[in-house]
Amino acid sequence: MSVVGLDIGSSSIKVAKIVKDSNRFRLAALGKVSTPRPGLLSESPQDHEAVAEAVKKLFDDVGIRDKRQVVVALPEGKIASRVIKLPLMSDKELASSLQYEADAFVPFSLDDAILRHQVIERNEKDGILEVLLIASPKILVNKYLRILELAKVTPLALETELMALNRALIDPNQPNTMVVDFGFKNCNFAISRKEQIYLTRSFPVAGEALTRALSDELGIDISQAEEYKKAYGLSDQVLEGKVRQSIISLIKSVSVEMKKAIQYFEQEKKETVDLIVLGGGSAGLPNVIQDIAANLRTEVQLANPLSLLEYDQSVFAQFEDEAPVFSVAIGLAKRQF
Ligand SMILES: Nc1ncnc2c1ncn2[C@@H]1O[C@H](COP(=O)(O)OP(=O)(O)OP(=O)(O)O)[C@@H](O)[C@H]1O
Ligand SMILES: [Mg+2]
């Protein structure tokens, strides 16, 4: 069976097609295209039409004709998700208590939300049930469904970016790992334990903020700032370290959020987080791996979702350098039904 993953980011739209045969995942198509602005931030039908056109064109360009088996990501920053702890109970009791639990942390009306949950752990010994609870605004889901309809895509499922990221980057023998999607608008991260998401966070600082800070600080236009960012990043060897100085406080603020999440996890579970894996376009920022590793005193690796797939080198080697950006799309396409 083959599944297509579609990740409509605020900067670029990514698509991956994966065929699963006898427990092996084989990459069948991969590609990306810029997201027409203002894209999904807009409420106007014309802007949605433009996004739908871009999706259609991307499917055509990478040669995906069957648009019926598509899994689509919902943006982490626009949904609410949390791991909650409950006393052990039956599935029926659980379903009825989730509404009450969601009320405590969901910042929008539950009448206008779709609730989903996933049991993470049943701890019979301590009598505790841990459940990942996700609330998505109906307006958001409907907006996605409208765009998919315009693009003639039939979604098989919608899921959160971090669920997909976790599936793309975590293999069964992994230690407790923080997986990070460092994109354009948001830096999303989750702690993954025994292949399950334990904690999720979305922090609104990523590539867009870095470029804007550089543009403001150095008095250069956005497109030049974008070039400097990609070329020099956090290196202190170029332009007297001016590029680094302009963005270092933003990187620190992202590190602080990661650290808080790790400390929370370590207190809750009495286990350590031993690895951080950075995905998303902004993971390509020069020297970011070293800086985050130094800030958090934890090993940091660049995400490589391709390493957990089989693929034809002659076709897909061109994507190896920017593999981190495809993490979410690949994770979506690895979903099994
Ligand atoms: N080599 C690089 N160095 C630094 N930043 C990079 C590099 N390559 C890409 N980026 C940045 O990555 C960002 C886009 O990443 P990505 O495609 O993951 O975002 P997105 O999924 O569209 O956004 P979001 O998930 O936040 O909606 C841009 O800000 C871009 O500047
Ligand atoms: Mg993204």
CATH of the domain at 95: 3.30.1490.300
Tokens of 101: 């639990």
Give the residue-averaged pLDDT of 66-82.
96
Q: Is 92 helix (H, G, I), strand (E, B) or coil?
A: helix
Ligand 2 mean position, distance from CA 35 (Å):
11
Spatial separation of the C-alpha atoms in residues 78 and 242, rounded to whole Å? 34
Burial class (CB in 10 A: 0-12, 13-18, 19+), 146: middle
Query: What is the number of the ligand closest to the CA of 12?
Result: 1
Looking at the CA of residue 161, tell me the nearest atom of ligand 1: 25
List all residues 6 or more positions away from 260 whose beta carbon is below 8 Å from its beta carbon.
none
Asked whether residue 242 is domain-assigned, the answer is no
Continuous segment of H or E residues that includes residue 99 = helix 91-103
Asked whether residue 106 is domain-assigned, the answer is yes
Of 34, 42, 211, 325, the residue with max ligand 1 atoms within 8 A of its CB, to mutate for a pocket test, comes to 325
Give the neighbor-by-neighbor strand order of the sheet with 70-74.
24-34, 12-21, 2-8, 70-74, 155-160
Which of the residue ranges 233-242, 271-280, 325-334 would you say has the lowest mean pLDDT?
233-242
When divided into structural domains, the chain yields a total of 1
Q: Is 205 helix (H, G, I), strand (E, B) or coil?
A: coil
pLDDT at 23: 84
Q: Which residue has the tokens 């993490």?
A: 327
CA count, 13 A, side-chain hemisphere, 158: 22
Q: Is the pLDDT of residue 2 over 90?
A: yes
- How many residues are there in the chain? 337
The long-range contacts involving 267-273, CB below 8 angstroms and separated by at least 24 positions, are: 269/176, 269/193, 269/198, 271/176, 271/193, 272/176, 273/176, 273/177, 273/178, 273/191, 273/298
Rounded percentage of the chain residues whose pLDDT exceeds 70:
100
Rounded percentage of the chain residues whose pLDDT exceeds 90:
96
Of 11, 202, 214, 328, the residue with max ligand 1 atoms within 8 A of its CB, to mutate for a pocket test, comes to 11
pLDDT at 118: 92
Spatial separation of the C-alpha atoms in residues 14 and 305, rounded to whole Å? 13
Asked whether residue 118 is domain-assigned, the answer is yes
Residue nearest atom 5 in ligand 1 by C-alpha distance = 282
Query: Residue 37 gets which letter from DSSP?
Result: S
**Residue pair 286/243 in contact by the 8 Å Cβ criterion:** no
Domain that holds residue 88: 80-136
Asked whether residue 227 is domain-assigned, the answer is no
Spatial separation of the C-alpha atoms in residues 170 and 168, rounded to whole Å? 6
Q: Is the pLDDT of residue 157 over 90?
A: yes
Asked whether residue 208 is domain-assigned, the answer is no
Pocket of ligand 1 (CB under 6 A): 9-12, 183-186, 206-208, 226, 229-230, 233, 280-282, 284-285, 325
Ligand 1 mean position, distance from CA 303 (Å):
14
Tokens of 272: 């350590």
Give the residue-averaged pLDDT of 105-109.
94
Residue nearest atom 19 in ligand 1 by C-alpha distance = 183
pLDDT at 34: 98
Ligand 2 mean position, distance from CA 263 (Å):
25
pLDDT at 22: 83
Ligand 2 mean position, distance from CA 298 (Å):
24
pTM score of the predicted model: 0.97
Which of the residue ranges 51-55, 94-98, 269-273 would you say has the lowest mean pLDDT?
94-98
Ligand 2 mean position, distance from CA 281 (Å):
8
Ligand 2 mean position, distance from CA 7 (Å):
7
Looking at the CA of residue 324, tell me the nearest atom of ligand 1: 18
Q: Is the pLDDT of residue 219 over 90?
A: yes
Looking at the CA of residue 210, tell me the nearest atom of ligand 1: 29
Residue nearest atom 6 in ligand 1 by C-alpha distance = 282
Asked whether residue 265 is domain-assigned, the answer is no
Query: What is the number of the ligand closest to the CA of 207?
Result: 1
Asked whether residue 180 is domain-assigned, the answer is no
Each residue's pLDDT tens digit, 179-203: 999 999 999 999 999 999 999 999 9
Of 282, 290, 320, 327, the residue with max ligand 1 atoms within 8 A of its CB, to mutate for a pocket test, comes to 282
Spatial separation of the C-alpha atoms in residues 91 and 119, rounded to whole Å? 10
pLDDT at 72: 98
Asked whether residue 148 is domain-assigned, the answer is no
CA distances from 312 to 292, 318, 323 (A): 33, 11, 14
Query: What is the number of the ligand closest to the CA of 40?
Result: 1
Tokens of 276: 């951080």
Spatial separation of the C-alpha atoms in residues 81 and 270, rounded to whole Å? 22
